[in-house]
């Protein structure tokens, strides 16, 4: 039996760090050997320092691990980064330079020309940027990123449509869960019975990240997709689950029945490889008039599938639809874990 890879979590006590702990329990290929947190928590037992906020049972298998500072002074095969972007900007290159590959949920390096912005079902060949990155930066390790949580839910159905029909224009309006703001998130008196029509920096990410993800690897870089995206983002009083309303113009318009078939049949490399965290169906099409809903569809594919519903003609664009994804599983820790499984399969770990 092959030994499991030793994994560190950077930012282990935060919401996404907690999801990593939850998802890595009993994983067949990775085991947590180091947990890193802020200087004020370094030296404490994880079980004493963590304030568990993630829905679902708190695992206790790492309670006795002592938290370390976010410094690469230990041996590990991989570091999962759940750090805030400003901290990640400093910490992640230090780990990569020390020879520890970083799979990051942070936004700090997503749009770097030599940094893979990875969704394994869409662009598994973008890992070729790792060698470019190492050569340019002189690192023994590397940084691989996953997208913004709303981008990830958006990009999977867009990939299916682009392969079949081509994409020209996308308009997206998001209704994003409170957990996307981290914990404790917006105060109850602000978010309760309310909709917040601004999430700073979010619209810029959604309007730029999909073009890189759906772009083509060419020589030493990515040729970005030329589709135009317009985004408006809102925070709503929902615990988990990002809902997005899409209007789409295709290069080749098609009947709604064909569009639904293409979405439902979409598969990628993780499904063909049988990667551990990969859902059987990355995109699940709902036929009911009132789906998807966070209360009913959030855990489709163990939280790793994107649910699509209300696919119908649009009087201005070619079609419109509603999508739902789990923002802290598929949109964060689960995405990074699937990226790590792909990297292991491809021989980068």
Active centre residues (catalytic) = 149, 242
What is the SS3 assignment for 229?
A: strand
Mapped onto helix, strand or coil, the DSSP state of residue 37 is strand
DSSP symbols for 50-97: ----SSSPPP-TTTTPBPEES---S--SEEEE---HHHHHHHHHHHHH
Q: Walk across the sheet containing 283-285 and list its strands.
A: 195-196, 228-236, 167-176, 242-250, 319-325, 306-313, 283-285
Element (H, E) at 20: helix 15-24
Write down the H helix ranges in 169-276: 188-191, 202-213, 256-265, 269-273
How are strands ordered across the β-sheet holding 5-10? 68-69, 30-37, 5-10, 78-81, 102-104, 143-145
Q: 74 with 50: CB under 8 angstroms?
A: no
SS3 content of the chain, % helix, strand, coil (to 5): 35, 25, 40
Largest CA distance in the chain: 60
Decide if 80 contacts 103 (C-beta within 8 A): yes
User: How far apart are alpha carbons 8 and 98 in whole angstroms?
Assistant: 14
Rounded Cα distance between 343 and 167, Å, is 28
Spatial separation of the C-alpha atoms in residues 155 and 163, rounded to whole Å = 12
345: burial class by Cβ within 10 Å (0-12, 13-18, 19+)? middle
């Amino acid at each position: 039996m092959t030994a499991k890879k030793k994994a560190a979590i950077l930012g282990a006590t935060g919401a996404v760090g907690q999801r990593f702990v939850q998802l890595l329990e009993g994983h067949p290929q990775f085991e947590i050997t180091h947990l890193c947190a802020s200087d004020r928590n370094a030296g404490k037992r994880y079980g004493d320092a963590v304030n568990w906020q993630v829905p679902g049972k708190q695992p206790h298998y790492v309670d006795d691990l002592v938290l370390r500072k976010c410094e690469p002074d230990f041996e590990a095969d991989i570091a999962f980064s759940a750090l805030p972007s400003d901290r990640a900007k400093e910490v992640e290159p230090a780990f990569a330079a020390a020879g520890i590959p970083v799979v990051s949920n942070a936004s700090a390096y997503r749009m770097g020309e030599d940094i893979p912005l990875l969704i394994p079902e869409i662009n598994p060949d973008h890992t070729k940027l790792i060698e470019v990155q190492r050569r340019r930066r002189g690192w023994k390790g590397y940084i691989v990123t996953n997208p913004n949580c709303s981008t990830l839910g958006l990009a999977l159905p867009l990939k299916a449509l682009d392969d079949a029909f081509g994409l020209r224009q996308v308009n997206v309006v998001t209704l994003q869960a409170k957990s996307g703001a981290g914990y404790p998130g917006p105060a109850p008196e602000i978010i309760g019975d309310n909709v917040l029509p601004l999430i700073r920096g979010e619209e810029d990410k959604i309007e730029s990240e999909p073009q890189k993800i759906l772009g083509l690897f060419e020589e030493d870089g990515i040729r970005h997709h030329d589709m135009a995206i317009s985004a408006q983002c809102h925070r709503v009083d929902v615990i988990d689950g990002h809902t997005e309303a899409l209007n789409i113009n295709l290069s080749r318009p098609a009947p709604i029945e064909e569009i639904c078939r293409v979405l439902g049949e979409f598969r990628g490399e993780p499904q063909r490889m049988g990667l551990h965290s990969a859902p059987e169906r990355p995109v699940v099409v709902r036929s009911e008039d009132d789906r998807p809903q966070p209360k009913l569809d959030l855990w489709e594919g163990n939280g790793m599938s994107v649910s699509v519903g209300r696919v119908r003609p649009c009087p201005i664009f070619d079609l419109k639809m509603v999508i739902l994804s789990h923002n802290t599983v598929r949109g964060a820790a689960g995405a990074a874990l699937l990226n790590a499984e792909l990297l292991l399969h491809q021989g980068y770990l």
